[in-house]
Amino acid sequence: MSRMNRPSMSVSGVARMMKGHEDKKIAVVVSTITDDVRIQEIPKMRICALRFTESARARIIKAGGECLTFDQLALVEPRGTNTILLRGKRNAREAVKHFGTPGAPGSHAKPFVRSSGRKFERARGRRRSCGFRV
């Protein structure tokens, strides 16, 4: 699967999606599970993923949870029952911020510029005092 279709997911995101199912179901994520320092207490969860960061794996195991690989999942749940398939946000990539026309009024697309100083994409065409305004 392409990198675009494998956005990473944080432990807090998995915990939010699994609320109420923590002990009954296994979260299946086809990407990396990362740690999130914003959440102090992680619930006991069973998560199957391609990869876990060291800190995320340690926190899940410390909470009494389980980190599974896909071959382990196939042995535990061969039919795929009691599993919830999750994925991260695909539009959180840096490249998505550049989509659209950066100069158009009302557009918040990020321009590809070498610098973000006073003269770069802030003067001519952006205000009346500097020639014209679009």
Query: How confident is the model at residue 74, as a pLDDT?
Result: 98
Burial of 117 (C-beta count, 10 Å sphere; 0-12/13-18/19+): exposed
Q: Map residue 16 onto helix, strand or coil.
A: helix
Query: How confident is the model at residue 2, as a pLDDT?
Result: 86
Compute the distance between CA of residue 74 and CA of residue 134 in angstroms, rounded to an integer. Answer: 58
Query: How confident is the model at residue 27, as a pLDDT?
Result: 97
Query: How confident is the model at residue 126, as a pLDDT?
Result: 84
Residues belonging to the chain: 134
Compute the distance between CA of residue 4 and CA of residue 94 in angstroms, rounded to an integer. Answer: 12
Distances (CA, A) of 40 to 2, 34, 59, 96: 32, 14, 10, 30
CA angle centred on 56, ends 55 and 61, rounded to 5°: 100
Compute the distance between CA of residue 5 and CA of residue 29 in angstroms, rounded to an integer. Answer: 11
Which residues, given as ranges, of the chain have pLDDT below 70?
none
Cβ-contact 10, 35 below 8 angstroms: yes
DSSP 9: E
Could you tell me the domains of the chain? Answer: 3-92 (3.100.10.10), 94-134 (no CATH)
Query: How confident is the model at residue 1, as a pLDDT?
Result: 80
